[in-house]
Every structure is written in structure tokens, then in C-alpha cells.
Amino acid sequence: MALTKVFTRPDSLRDINFHFCPGCHHGTAHRLICEAIDYYGIRERTIGIPGVGCGVFLYNYFDLDVCEAPHGRAPAVATGFKRVLPQNIIFTYQGDGDLGSIGMSEVIHTANRGENITVFFINNSVYGMTGGQMAPTTLLGQRTTTTPYGRDFRTEGYPIRMAEMLAPLEGVAFAARVSLHTPTQVKKARKAVLRALDIQIKNMGFSFVEFLCACPTNWGLSPRQCIEKIDGEMLQSFPLGTYKNRQDS
Amino acid sequence: MNRIEIRDESCKGCQYCLIFCPRELLQIDKSRINVLGYNPARFVDNPEKPCLGCALCAEICPDALIEVYRKKKGAVKANVRTPNT
Amino acid sequence: MSERQILKGCVALAEGAIAAGYRFYFGYPITPQNDIPEYLSARLPQVGGVFIQAESEVASINMLLGAAAAGARAMTSSSGPGISLMQEGLSYMAGSELPGLVVNITRIGPGLGGIAASQGDYRQATRGGGHGDYHLIVLAPNSVQEMYDLTIKAFYLADKYRNPAMILADAILGQMKEPIFLNPPPLVLPEKPWALTGARGKKAQLIKSLYLADGEMEQHNWHLYEKYRRLEREEVLVETDLQEKMDVLLVSFGSCSRMVQSALDLARSRGIRVGFLRPISLYPFPQQAVREVSREVGKVLVVEMNTGQMWDDVRLSLYPGCRARLLARPGGGIPAPGQILAEIENLVKAGDGIDESVHQA
């Protein structure tokens, strides 16, 4: 019996090795977004806007127009793009420091304006590119290069939950948190990515997908241990789910 | 027989595919170091418990290096689909 | 065909932008430039444009960055403190070679300062302002007519050089009303093959300012350097009013130059032979013109509403051995024509030779 190829790299993902560390989930997020772009056939009208961090090299991997944004400002840059090119599909791709710390103002107001863009948010609970400093999403007790004794709520506050924070805003049409640490979760994540872009294609407003990801290098864990950490601690602090899914009118 | 192909020259040996293969058909190839400097994953089919073509390995591979080939039966959903729009 | 109207400076500037084919405004309220967003929030929808009141100046400049990268003529306006917040975005735009217009209707600094007119942002505007090795194209109007004309010119230069441009005006120019001819030049929008509009039928494109590979960033900086040298050769704008055998050359820009022109009339009526040089493009600065005229005159009086910022550029450009003085007035006051005249007379009396002294108006 002839064999059929049932799983392969999406066309929008260039045939180039990722620079990411072994076990890093950026690559999985890249693949899922490219799959969804191919699925809807929107590659030629999609513009990606990476923030600053390990994700900035998105332009090396995505075979579509890409514009770099200053740290945290991707949602504002995306707003400029979308207002000039309302027929195009505009997404940002931001890490937790980029979106949840320095860019908090931009993402909240872009969401609140109901800008018809999609924000993909990589939450791995540390600053990856700069060397593992505390992020706004760092778990309580987690050791980072700037919380060497572990994050203490009395001095560093609490991990910030972006999906829950954005979901109640009227301008937000879709907000979900997914994880990429098991195949089952990856499949659920795919559905969220598809729906987020679907929302934008249908002009329904702001859509947001938060991915829980591993950073084996800065966590100081093997990829296998990272899965356990996500499955245990991280899911406790960051419950998975769809926090908003506006129905098609 | 169902099978997978791993682009092992780009594999970083994270072992995610090993962890999630329900038939334990993946292993780390200790005999070889690829061009990136890692012991890559290797697919070794087992006639007793052959590959299901479930694509869990491909789904979890963070570097998108695994292609899955299956006898055409649509039971397991994977990522190659045609747009419905 | 043009029609004479009486308009406020901020409104003339906004109409100039619309005449330049601009349709996207992003900005955040700050005194004394609020007439621009208030006017455009009503005007832009009439011409199919987009007006966004952003959550901050940081967001404004990055919306401008996005709109510019998408190929549109876009603008933001602000004043001192807001312009400081935009410096990050301006540096990225210069690094990514994106055109766009930023209007600074200045107020007094540093800090919250005050809302009266000042020329204290000259240095920030002409030196780049943000991090890295770059310049903005900076044009300084001194009338409501120029608020209109130079805005059109600034869009043109920004596109031509793929570099952000700035209109540096102040509260006086923004608020005052004057007769003006709205004389829009024929609108020719340049092709922007580099703009990102989606990879339809062409290779995917990239706009970035990050260059990590060995030597890439150095090469990029030399490329920008060449662009700025070309600007300095080809785009200097300067107004002069010279006489034979001048006793003193007056150098001043923006609103302050109008007081200087009044003083010039007073001086000439008293028989003092006075020349006048007004940089219109502050970057590129008219170095050559200052050098040539100062060689002829020997004595130069710079008048500014700050403690001496363009003063630095004039001294760099002076013909060696010239006697130069600065008449400075920071803090919201305007040098009066009588004070300027007195300083002209002092300088005429002074001997030849090097003297670079600062005097408070």
C-alpha cells in the first residue's frame, strides 16, 4: 500500500535550522503559526512583527514580510501597519519581558482599541536572550540570574497572567493560554492559533494566544526536566484555557 | 508500513520525540555526532510493535524535523490539510 | 491658484501635511501643540485619513514606524517631554531607514519646564537625540507660511532619503495667526519598493535595524554616513539678507529670527551695515554659508532663545579668527529688538580678533 505524507514542515516556514537551543519551544510556536498561515492561504498578505528577544530572528524563518519593532512596541507598530493596510493580516510575536514588562502599555491599549491584529505571546518565565534574568512571569521561588535566591513576592511581586488580564477588555475577541510541552497540548495550541487568525480574518477584533514554553538553557534543566516543570509548577501558576472567544456574528 | 523520516543533521538531541513515542521506536544515536555537534535521534522500527504513524513525534519536535508517512487511513489527524475556506 | 487665508501656525502645518498626501496621524496630547491633533481629528476623516490618539508618545512614534514601514506618509506631533519619549523610536526609524515626520512645537525644558516658546531642543533635534550614529532632517520655519511649506518639504526629504524628518517650531509659531497662501504643489508620491505590503508575487522583505554579523553594522553605519554627507551637500536651506561691506552678521533661526529682522531694520536705519543669515535646515546646517559670510564680515552675532545651542554649530562653521557673540535668552522670554540692537552696537565698537562671549538678553 502506498504511503501518504501526513506530517511535514509548513510551506511558510523556511528550510533553515532554528538557532534556538535544544528543547526550546520557540520552534514549535513558529511552526504552528506557519501552519495556520498556510491553512488560511494568507502568506502573501501577512506581515509579522517580532519583538526583541530570541524571537526577533523570526524574519530568518518565516517566508513572509517582517518588520522589526523596538522592545515592547510591536503592538504599536502593528497598529500602524493595520491602519495603513486593513486587508493584510498583521501579527506580533513577543516574549514575556517584551510584552509583559516593557511593552505592557502598548499591548493593553492595542487590545483595548480592539485593533484587529493577533498577538502571539511566548511565556517561558525568563528573559532568554539577555541571559536568564527575572521576567514578569517568573514563578515564585524561581531562581534567575537576577533573583538568585528565588523570586520573592515581598520584593519582586507575583507572576503576571496576561491572558486573564487581557480577556475582560471589550476590544479583545479571543484570548487563550496554551502549552507546547506535550503533543496533545501542541494540538490544542494549533486550534488556538487557527482561531486567533480566524478572528482577525473575520475582522472581529484583537486576538491573543499565550504559549507556555520551556527555556532549558536559562532554567538550567534538561529538556526532559523542562516538561516536568511545565506540567507541574508552571501549569499551576498559569492555568491553560480559552479565556475569551467571541462568537461570530 | 508507516514510517517517519528525521532530518537528523539538524537534530539537537532534545529527546522530546523519544519521550512521547508510544511504541518507543526512537532512540539517541550515540554512535554519531551530527554537523551541529549533537547525538541525533534515530528511528528504529520494530516489526513486533510497528510505527503507528501517529505523528506525536513530529508534533512535539521543536525543530520541525520529522515527516510522517502513513498508509492512507484517516483515523489520526495530523497537520497536512487543505484549507476549508 | 491659491487663496489668501489667515491661519494659525499649527493648522497651517496640518494642512501642509495633508497637501503632502499624508493621511495617518498618531499622537498624544501635550501643550503647546494640541491644536494639531484637535484640528486633524476633525480634518483627517474628511479626506479618508486615520487619526489615532495613542496611549503615549512611545506608542505614537512606533505607530508611525509601522505606518511608514507599510509605505504611508505618516506624522506625529508633540512637544519637548513627548519628543524625549520618542527618541527610541526615532533611533529605530533612522536605523531601519524609515521616513516619517515628527513635529516638535517646543516648550521650555529641562523637565516639565514650562509651556512658553523656547529653542532649547535644538541640540536634541540636530544631534539625533536617540542612541547611535544618526541624524534627523530638521527644518525650522519662522512664519505660518513656512509651517505649511516646510511641512510639505519635510515629507519630500524624508521619503527621498528614507530618514525621519522633524519640523522644529515653537509655541509662538504654533499659536500665532498670519496670512498664508495655501499653494499645494502637484502631489507626486514616490515609489516605495522597500515597503512591506505582503509578499504577493514577490520575495518576502524585511525591515530591521539589527545587524549582528561581523562587520555588518559598521557597513550599515558607513552607509548612513554617506547619506548624511549627501544631505549636507545637496539639501541645505538658508535665507540670507546681505549688504556690501557689512559691519556685523546676525545669525538666528525660527521665531527668534523675526526679532532679529526687526533689529536689523533698526540698525540699518541708523546706518549700521548689517547682514542676516537664517538657517532653515538646522540639519543639514549651512556650514559653508556661515563660513563664507563670516569670512567677509568678521563679526557675528548669534541670537537664540536658549543658552547657546546653535551657537556651537556657528562656532564650528566660523571663518577662523572671527569675533562672535551670543545673545541668549532661555526660559520663555523673547530677545527684544532693542536689546539686539544694543548688542549689535557693542559688537561694532569691539575690536577685531577672536572673542567668543555669551551675553544675557
The 3-state secondary structure of A5-17 reads EEECCCCCECCCC
Cβ-based contacts under 8 A for chains A and B: 101
Q: Which tens digit of pLDDT belongs to each residue from C218-245?
A: 999 999 999 999 999 999 999 999 999 9
pLDDT at B74: 53
Looking at the predicted structure, is the pLDDT value of residue C2 above 80?
no
Grid coordinates representing C331? 526660559
Identify whether C141 is preceded by a cis peptide bond (ω within 30 of 0): no
pLDDT at C353: 76
Q: Residue C16 contacts by C-beta under 8 Å, 6 or more apart in sequence?
A: C147, C148, C149, C150, C151, C152
For all residues of chain A together, what is the average pLDDT?
A: 97
For residue C249, give the nearest of C352, C325, C165, C160 by alpha carbon: C325
pLDDT at C361: 76
A108/A136 Cα distance (integer angstroms): 15
Helices (H) and strands (E) in chain B, counts: 2, 4
Contacts of residue C201 in chain A, CB cutoff 8 Å?
A: 44
pLDDT at B79: 66
Contact A137, A125 (CB under 8 A): yes
Looking at the predicted structure, is the pLDDT value of residue B85 above 50?
no
pLDDT band (50, 70, 90) for residue C357: confident
Distance of CA B49 to the CA centre of its chain: 15
Q: Residue C78 contacts by C-beta under 8 Å, 6 or more apart in sequence?
A: C27, C28, C30, C33, C57, C60, C85, C86, C102, C103, C104, C105
Domains of chain C, with CATH numbers?
4-234 (3.40.50.970), 238-360 (3.40.50.920)
C45/C351 Cα distance (integer angstroms): 61
Q: How far is CA A167 from CA A172, A209, B73, in A?
A: 6, 11, 40
Question: What burial letters (b/e) apply to A115-135, b meaning 16+ CB within 10 Å?
Answer: bbbbbbbbbbbbbbbeebebb
Structural domain containing residue A106: 26-245
ipTM attached to this prediction? 0.95
Q: Which tens digit of pLDDT belongs to each residue from B8-49?
A: 999 999 999 999 999 999 999 999 999 999 999 999 999 999
For all residues of chain C together, what is the average pLDDT?
A: 96
| Residue A15 belongs to a domain | no
The predicted model gives C287-302 an average pLDDT of: 97
Name the residue of chain B whose CA is nearest to A201's CA: B85
The CATH number covering residue A67 comes to 3.40.50.970
| Residue A226 belongs to a domain | yes
| Contacts for A148-156: CB closer than 8 Å, 24+ residues apart | none
Answer yes or no: do B62 and A190 touch at CB < 8 A.
no
| Residue A12 belongs to a domain | no
Q: Which tens digit of pLDDT belongs to each residue from A18-42?
A: 999 999 999 999 999 999 999 999 9
Looking at the predicted structure, is the pLDDT value of residue B82 above 80?
no
Looking at the predicted structure, is the pLDDT value of residue B71 above 90?
no
Place of cell 478572528: A199
Instruction: Give me the residue from B19, B67, B85 closest to A7, CB to CB.
Output: B67
**Residue C68 backbone dihedrals phi, psi, to 5 degrees:** -65, -40
Distance from CA of B20 to the nearest CA of A (A): 8
Query: Is A76 within 8 Å of chain C by CB?
Result: yes
Domains of chain B, with CATH numbers?
3-66 (3.30.70.20)
pLDDT band (50, 70, 90) for residue B78: low
Q: Which tens digit of pLDDT belongs to each residue from C145-160?
A: 999 999 999 999 999 9
Domains in chain A, number: 1
Residue bearing the bigger pLDDT, A249 or C283: C283
Spatial strand order of the sheet with A3-7 comes to A3-7, B66-71, B3-6
Answer yes or no: do B15 and A190 touch at CB < 8 A.
no
pLDDT at B73: 60
pLDDT band (50, 70, 90) for residue B81: low
Q: Which tens digit of pLDDT belongs to each residue from A32-72?
A: 999 999 999 999 999 999 999 999 999 999 999 999 999 99
Residue B70, SS3 per DSSP: strand
| Residue A100 belongs to a domain | yes
pLDDT at C3: 77
Q: Catalogue the E-assigned strands of chain B.
A: 3-6, 26-28, 41-43, 66-71
A29/A37 Cα distance (integer angstroms): 12
Answer yes or no: do C69 and A45 touch at CB < 8 A.
no
| Residue A20 belongs to a domain | no
For residue B14, give the nearest of B2, B22, B6 by alpha carbon: B6
Cβ-based contacts under 8 A for chains A and C: 132
